[in-house]
Chain A
Amino acid sequence: GQNIDQPTEMTATEGAIVQINCTYQTSGFNGLFWYQQHAGEAPTFLSYNVLDGLEEKGRFSSFLSRSKGYSYLLLKELQMKDSASYLCAVKDSNYQLIWGAGTKLIIKP
Chain B
Amino acid sequence: EAQVTQNPRYLITVTGKKLTVTCSQNMNHEYMSWYRQDPGLGLRQIYYSMNVEVTDKGDVPEGYKVSRKEKRNFPLILESPSPNQTSLYFCATATGTSSSGANVLTFGAGSRLTVL
Which of the residues B41, B98, B100, B107 comes within 8 Å of A43, measured between beta carbons? B107
Q: Taking the complex as formed, is A30 at the interface, i.e. its CB lies under 8 A from any CB of chain B? A: yes
Contact A100 B108 (CB under 8 A): no
Interface presence of B14 (CB below 8 A)? no
Is there contact, CB below 8 Å, between B105 and A43? yes
- Chain B interface residue count, CB cutoff 8 Å, equals 20
In the complex, which residues 66-116 of chain B have their Cβ closer than 8 Å to any Cβ of chain A? 90, 96, 98-102, 104-110
Contact count band on A = 20 to 34
Pair A95/B44 contact, Cβ less than 8 Å: no
Is A29 an interface residue when CB atoms closer than 8 A count as contact? no
Shortest CB-to-CB span from B11 to chain A, Å, is 16
Q: Are B101 and A95 in contact (CB under 8 A)?
A: yes
B101 close to A91 (CB less than 8 A): yes
* B105 engages A41 (CB within 8 Å): no
The 0/1 profile, CB within 8 Å of A marked 1, for residues 26-47 of chain B is: 0000000000000011111100
- Residues of B within 8 Å of A96, CB to CB, are 45, 101
